[in-house]
């Protein structure tokens, strides 16, 4: 074995290990996010079933945890774990954080009547549960046509 072959073997081994670790981390992140958003959907459906009025919806802190946890998406893009636009990811997540933490948290703490928070949170949770489920099953090789 030449020195060059040893270097190539060592470098490919390092990158192979880090790729496995990165994929394992992303799989764990996607599973956690999927379950967080699924629980948010279940909370919304439970609220709708019991209260039957979305005007007085008070989001639980699980919604705030789930959405704030997704800030890690910005980190993932910045360190190139996922390949997408940093700008688009930042805009999407910060707009959601802004809407969640300012108006919705204000409505929650001041008991203001509005159906907006319920619809926003239900739509976000449905979209994100589908997205994270797709990211969980896509590395497995299951092809889902839309």
Instruction: Chunk the chain into consecutive blocks of 10 residues (it has 146) and report each block's average pLDDT, rounded to whole numbers.
Output: 52 58 88 96 90 77 90 88 89 88 73 78 94 85 57
What pLDDT is stored for residue 65 in this prediction? Answer: 92
Domain count, the chain: 1
Contact between residue 72 and residue 101 where contact means Cβ atoms under 8 Å apart: no
What pLDDT is stored for residue 118 in this prediction? Answer: 85
What pLDDT is stored for residue 3 in this prediction? Answer: 56
With 0-12 CB in 10 A as exposed, 13-18 as middle and 19+ as buried, what is 20? exposed
In a domain, 146, yes or no: no
What pLDDT is stored for residue 12 in this prediction? Answer: 46
In a domain, 21, yes or no: yes
In a domain, 7, yes or no: yes
pTM score of the predicted model: 0.79
What pLDDT is stored for residue 9 in this prediction? Answer: 53
What pLDDT is stored for residue 78 in this prediction? Answer: 87
Range of the domain at 81: 1-137
In a domain, 90, yes or no: yes
Contact between residue 44 and residue 125 where contact means Cβ atoms under 8 Å apart: yes
In a domain, 142, yes or no: no
In a domain, 144, yes or no: no
In a domain, 143, yes or no: no
In a domain, 33, yes or no: yes
What pLDDT is stored for residue 40 in this prediction? Answer: 95
């Amino acid at each position: 074995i030449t020195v060059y072959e040893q270097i190539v073997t060592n470098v490919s081994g390092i990158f192979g290990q880090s790729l496995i670790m990165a994929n394992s981390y992303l799989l764990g992140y996607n599973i956690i996010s999927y379950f967080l958003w699924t629980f948010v959907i279940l909370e919304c459906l439970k609220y709708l079933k019991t209260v039957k009025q979305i005007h007085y919806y008070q989001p639980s802190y699980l919604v705030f945890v789930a959405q704030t946890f997704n800030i890690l998406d910005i980190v993932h893009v910045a360190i190139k774990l996922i390949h997408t636009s940093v700008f688009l990811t930042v805009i999407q997540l910060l707009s959601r954080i802004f809407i969640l933490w300012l108006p919705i948290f204000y409505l929650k703490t001041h008991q203001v009547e509005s159906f907006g928070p319920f619809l926003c949170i239900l739509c976000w949770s449905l979209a994100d549960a589908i997205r994270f489920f797709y990211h969980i099953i896509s590395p497995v090789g299951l092809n889902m046509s839309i």
